């Protein structure tokens, strides 16, 4: 009996944590142009945390593909994606949220990874191990709150 109660408490606690982190990737509603109007986490983003995600390997690491003059102290900016300087003047918050969550919803041929997706992959792997993933859904690269944090940072990049 004691073990059953412990298991029930653990399940309830885990469910509460998952709900507190925002919506799941399957629940995201993209408009016809790929924009996502509502916050994925239900919380405002933190631009400082977004900057950290944009420059951290194993997270967003946006500067690996994009030039961002405001992040010049970090070396090795990429040239694969478009420069992000002034991006807040070109796109709305909803546009940016959709692009960061899954750029392919806006730009069909994009090679940008879907940062908030956990199913529908063609050849998924386990992190950076080179091994094939097992059955079932994967974890998104970024959490709902991390998406909001990156969007908050991108909104600071004005001309």
3-state secondary structure of 53: helix
Q: Write down the pLDDT at residue 100.
A: 98
pLDDT at 135: 74
pLDDT (average), residues 82-108? 97
- Return d(Cα 120, Cα 122) in angstroms, integer: 7
Cβ–Cβ under 8 Å, residues 24 and 118: yes
Q: Mean pLDDT over all residues of the chain? A: 85
User: Mind listing the pLDDT tens digit for each residue in 1-59?
Assistant: 333 333 333 333 333 333 346 899 999 999 999 999 999 999 999 999 999 999 998 89
> What is the band of 146 on the pLDDT scale with cuts at 50, 70, 90?
very high
Residue 7, φ and ψ in degrees, nearest 5: -65, -45
> If you search the block for the tokens 């507190």, which residue do you land on?
20
What is the model's pTM? 0.81
Q: CATH 1.10.760.10: does it fit domain 2-154?
A: yes
142 CB neighbour count, 10 Å cutoff: 22
Domain ranges of the chain: 2-154
């Amino acid at each position: 009996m004691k073990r059953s109660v412990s298991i029930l408490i653990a399940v309830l606690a885990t469910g509460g944590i998952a709900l507190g982190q925002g919506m799941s990737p399957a629940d995201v509603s993209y408009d016809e142009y790929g924009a996502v109007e509502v916050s994925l986490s239900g919380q405002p983003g933190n631009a400082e945390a977004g900057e950290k995600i944009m420059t951290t390997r194993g997270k967003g690491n946006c500067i690996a593909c994009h030039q961002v003059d405001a992040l010049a102290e970090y070396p090795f900016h990429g040239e694969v994606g478009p420069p992000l300087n002034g991006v807040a003047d070109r796109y709305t918050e909803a546009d940016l949220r959709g692009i960061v969550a899954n750029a392919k919803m806006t730009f069909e041929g994009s090679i940008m990874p879907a940062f908030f997706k956990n199913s529908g992959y063609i050849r998924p792997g386990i992190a950076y191990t080179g091994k094939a993933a097992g059955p079932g859904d994967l974890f998104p690269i970024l959490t709902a709150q991390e998406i909001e944090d990156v969007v908050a940072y991108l909104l600071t990049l004005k001309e």
